[in-house]
C-alpha cells in the first residue's frame, strides 16, 4: 500500500470532481426506493402472469458489472435481496444524467427508476428513465469472475469478501438464521433471555486462561468472562426457572481452525430438569435449526450427510473410549496407571496432566474425530466436571453429557451440582490440583457459593458452541469462515 494513489483510484477521483463541478452531490442523504431488486422481479412476474403492463419502480444498489454496447448499455445492480439487470438507452436520459452515466464505475451505489421488462434472452431488466448517484466508489472491486481469494484480505476486509463471494454471504445468512432459530426455540419453551457481566473479578465456569483488563475508576483488574455459567445459575437461585444467554466469551488461548479468542456460546439452565431432559431438548433444538437452515434434518458436511433427526444415539463415555481407543479407563483408577497405559500405546503424554485431563485427551484423540453422526456421550468422570452432580449410583461419575457431530464437540451439559458444601469441596480439590501444577482450574467463586447456600433447585444446564454449530451447517472447515471478523495479528 503506497501512499500514492494507484491510477484507478486517481481516475475515480477525477470523475468525482467532474460530478461535483456539475452541481451533483455524489453522496446525497437519502433515496427512497419503491422495490428491492427481488421485489421488482416478482412484480414483473406478476404483471406477466396477469397480462398487465409493469408500473414504474425505483431500486437502489451497487453496480457489479457493466456491458457497454454503444447506444445501449447493460449494468448489473445488486442490493441486499439480489440482483437485477439495468438497461440504459441513449436518448432515454437527459443530458445531465447522460453525463453522469459516463462517469459511473463498477462499485458505485446508484438509484434508478424505470419499468421492469424482459430482454430477448428473458433476463429481467429495468429500462432506466431516471438515474441518481447515491455513493461514488473510489476503489476498484475484486475481480468479477474469481472473486477475492486472498485469505488474509478476505478476513481483514470482510466487506470485500462479502461483495465478491456469494458463498460467504450465504454462510453469514445461515449463521443469523441459526441463531434466530435457537432463540425462537427457547423462547417458545418459556426460557427467558438474559445478559450477564462480561467483566468479572474472577473468571469462572470453565477451565481456560482469561484475558485481563483494568478498570481505572475502581482501580481494579477484571477478567473477561470465559463462560456464562455461574451467573446464569445465580439467576436460577433468583427464581427465573428457565434462562439462557447467547453471548460472546473470551479465552486467552491458542488460535486455530477450531479456536478463536472470542466466540459465541449458548448457555441455558432449566430448573426441575436433569441432564436427560436437556439431552432431549438439545437434539430437538438442533434438529429444528437444521430443518430451518438446511430445509431438513440432513445436512451436507464434507462428503457425507449428517442426519440430525432425533433421537440421537447415546453411548456412555466409558464405552466410547473403550471402543475407539481400546482403553477402559475404569481399569486405571489413578493418574499414574492411566498415564502408563497411554504411554504404552505410544501416546505423547503431558506429565502435568491429571487423570481427568488424560481421559479428555483420549476423547479428543480417538473418539471425537469418529463421531460424525450426532452422538451423545454420557457419564463423565467426576474429576473432569467440578460443577456437575454425581450419579446417585456411582460417585466417581457425574450426570454429564457432551454432544458430538461432524467430529466436533457441539454441546456440553450436566445436572448441575446444587449442594453448596460439596461445591466448595470440589473447588478446593481443584485448587489443590492447581498447586500440583495444573494451571487452568476452576477458581472458587465465593459469591457463587453464597448463592448456592440460599438453595438452587435441581437444574439441568447446557452449553453450546454456536460457531462450531454454524460450521456444521455451512460445511466450514475453519472457525474463521463463520466469524465475520476473526482475530488476526495486527498488520504493521
DSSP code, position 389: P
Closest contact distance (angstroms) between CB of 453 and RNA is 21
Q: Is 105 in the site for RNA (CB under 7 A)?
A: yes
Nearer to RNA, 219 or 348 (CB): 348
Q: Is 108 in the site for RNA (CB under 7 A)?
A: no
Closest contact distance (angstroms) between CB of 111 and RNA is 20
- Based on its alpha-carbon atoms, the radius of gyration of the chain, rounded to whole angstroms, reads 29
Residues 193-222, interacting with RNA (CB under 7 A): 205-208
Smallest CA-to-CA distance from 340 within 351, 356, 330 is with: 351
Q: Is 49 in the site for RNA (CB under 7 A)?
A: no
**Contact with RNA (CB under 7 A): which of 38, 43, 47, 66?**
66
Q: Is 346 in the site for RNA (CB under 7 A)?
A: no
**Contact with RNA (CB under 7 A): which of 350, 419, 422, 446?**
350
Q: DSSP H helical segments within 295-395, as ranges?
A: 317-325, 335-344, 355-362
Residues 239-268, interacting with RNA (CB under 7 A): 251, 253-254, 256-259
**Contact with RNA (CB under 7 A): which of 37, 375, 385, 415?**
385
- Binding string, residues 154-183; x marks residues near RNA by CB under 7 A: -x----------------------------
- Binding string, residues 290-329; x marks residues near RNA by CB under 7 A: ----------------------------------------
Smallest CA-to-CA distance from 34 within 92, 107, 115 is with: 115
Nearer to RNA, 156 or 280 (CB): 156
Nearer to RNA, 8 or 421 (CB): 8
Nearer to RNA, 36 or 385 (CB): 385
**Contact with RNA (CB under 7 A): which of 37, 58, 125, 264?**
125
CA–CA distance, 310 with 241 (Å, rounded to integer): 25
Residue 244 in contact with residue 268, Cβ under 8 Å? yes
For cell 444467554, what's the residue? 245
Closest contact distance (angstroms) between CB of 298 and RNA is 25
Q: Is 69 in the site for RNA (CB under 7 A)?
A: yes
**Contact with RNA (CB under 7 A): which of 180, 184, 187, 477?**
477
Nearer to RNA, 105 or 341 (CB): 105
Residues 76-95, interacting with RNA (CB under 7 A): 76, 85, 87, 89
Residue 108 in contact with residue 137, Cβ under 8 Å? yes
Strand partners, 73: 68, 88
Closest contact distance (angstroms) between CB of 221 and RNA is 21
**Contact with RNA (CB under 7 A): which of 110, 315, 384, 417?**
384
CA–CA distance, 441 with 444 (Å, rounded to integer): 9
CA–CA distance, 7 with 140 (Å, rounded to integer): 10
Q: Is 68 in the site for RNA (CB under 7 A)?
A: yes
Closest contact distance (angstroms) between CB of 358 and RNA is 10
At 20, is the secondary structure helix, strand, or coil? Answer: helix
Signed CA dihedral, 301, 179, 163, 45: sign only: positive
Closest contact distance (angstroms) between CB of 289 and RNA is 20
**Contact with RNA (CB under 7 A): which of 130, 261, 440, 475?**
440
Q: Binders of RNA: how many residues, by CB under 7 A?
A: 77
Closest contact distance (angstroms) between CB of 287 and RNA is 22
Smallest CA-to-CA distance from 329 within 369, 367, 375 is with: 367
CA–CA distance, 209 with 227 (Å, rounded to integer): 11
CA–CA distance, 275 with 385 (Å, rounded to integer): 14
Q: Is 370 in the site for RNA (CB under 7 A)?
A: no
Residue 469 in contact with residue 413, Cβ under 8 Å? no
CA–CA distance, 472 with 487 (Å, rounded to integer): 21
Asked if the bond preceding 311 is cis, omega within 30° of 0, the reply is yes
For residue 385 the three cell numbers come to: 466436571
Q: Is 460 in the site for RNA (CB under 7 A)?
A: no
Residues 6+ apart with CB under 8 A from 78: 37, 61, 62, 64
Residues 8-47, interacting with RNA (CB under 7 A): 8, 11, 15
Secondary structure (H, E, C), 383-405: HHCCCECEECCEEEEEEEEEEEE
At 281, is the secondary structure helix, strand, or coil? Answer: helix
Amino acid at each position: 500500500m503506497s501512499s500514492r494513489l494507484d491510477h484507478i483510484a486517481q481516475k475515480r477521483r477525477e470523475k468525482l470532481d467532474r460530478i461535483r463541478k456539475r452541481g451533483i452531490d455524489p453522496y446525497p442523504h437519502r433515496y427512497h426506493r419503491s422495490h428491492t431488486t427481488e421485489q421488482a422481479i416478482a412484480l414483473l412476474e406478476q404483471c406477466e402472469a396477469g397480462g398487465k403492463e409493469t408500473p414504474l419502480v425505483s431500486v437502489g444498489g451497487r453496480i457489479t458489472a457493466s456491458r457497454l454496447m454503444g447506444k445501449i448499455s447493460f449494468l448489473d445492480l445488486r442490493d441486499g435481496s439480489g440482483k437485477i439487470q439495468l438497461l440504459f438507452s441513449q436518448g432515454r436520459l437527459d443530458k445531465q444524467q447522460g453525463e453522469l452515466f459516463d462517469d459511473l464505475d463498477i462499485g458505485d451505489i446508484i438509484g434508478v427508476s424505470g419499468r421492469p421488462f424482459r430482454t430477448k434472452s428473458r433476463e429481467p431488466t429495468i429500462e432506466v428513465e431516471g438515474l441518481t448517484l447515491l455513493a461514488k466508489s473510489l476503489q476498484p472491486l475484486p475481480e468479477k469472475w474469481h472473486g477475492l481469494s486472498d485469505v488474509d484480505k478476505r478476513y481483514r476486509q470482510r466487506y470485500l469478501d462479502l461483495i465478491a463471494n456469494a458463498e460467504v454471504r450465504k454462510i453469514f445468512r445461515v449463521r443469523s438464521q441459526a441463531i434466530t432459530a435457537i432463540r425462537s426455540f427457547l423462547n417458545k419453551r418459556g426460557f427467558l433471555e438474559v445478559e450477564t457481566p462480561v467483566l468479572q473479578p474472577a473468571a469462572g465456569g470453565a477451565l481456560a486462561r482469561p484475558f485481563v483488563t483494568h478498570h481505572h475508576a475502581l482501580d481494579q483488574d477484571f477478567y473477561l468472562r470465559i463462560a456464562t455459567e455461574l451467573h446464569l445459575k445465580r439467576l436460577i437461585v433468583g427464581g427465573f426457572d428457565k434462562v439462557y444467554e447467547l453471548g460472546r466469551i473470551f479465552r486467552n488461548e491458542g488460535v486455530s481452525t477450531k479456536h478463536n479468542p472470542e466466540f459465541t456460546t449458548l448457555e441455558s439452565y432449566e430448573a426441575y430438569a436433569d441432564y436427560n431432559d436437556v439431552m432431549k431438548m438439545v437434539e430437538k433444538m438442533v434438529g429444528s435449526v437444521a430443518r430451518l437452515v438446511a430445509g431438513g434434518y440432513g445436512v451436507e458436511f464434507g462428503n457425507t450427510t449428517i442426519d440430525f433427526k432425533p433421537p440421537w444415539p447415546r453411548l456412555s463415555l466409558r464405552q466410547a473410549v473403550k471402543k475407539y481407543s481400546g482403553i477402559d479407563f475404569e481399569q486405571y483408577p489413578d493418574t499414574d496407571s492411566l498415564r502408563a497405559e497411554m504411554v504404552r500405546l505410544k501416546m505423547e503424554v503431558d506429565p502435568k496432566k491429571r487423570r481427568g485431563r488424560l481421559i479428555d485427551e483420549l476423547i479428543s484423540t480417538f473418539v471425537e474425530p469418529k463421531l460424525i453422526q450426532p452422538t451423545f456421550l454420557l457419564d463423565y468422570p467426576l474429576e473432569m466436571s467440578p460443577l456437575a452432580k454425581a450419579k446417585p449410583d456411582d460417585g466417581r461419575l457425574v450426570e454429564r453429557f457432551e454432544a458430538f457431530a461432524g467430529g466436533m464437540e457441539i454441546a456440553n451439559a450436566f445436572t448441575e451440582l446444587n449442594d453448596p458444601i460439596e461445591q466448595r469441596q470440589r473447588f478446593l480439590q481443584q485448587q489443590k490440583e492447581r498447586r500440583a501444577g495444573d494451571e487452568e482450574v476452576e477458581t472458587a467463586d465465593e459469591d457463587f457459593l453464597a448463592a448456592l447456600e440460599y438453595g438452587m433447585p435441581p437444574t439441568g444446564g447446557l452449553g453450546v458452541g454456536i460457531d462450531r454449530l454454524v460450521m456444521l451447517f455451512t460445511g466450514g472447515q475453519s472457525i474463521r469462515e463463520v466469524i465475520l471478523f476473526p482475530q488476526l495479528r495486527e498488520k504493521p
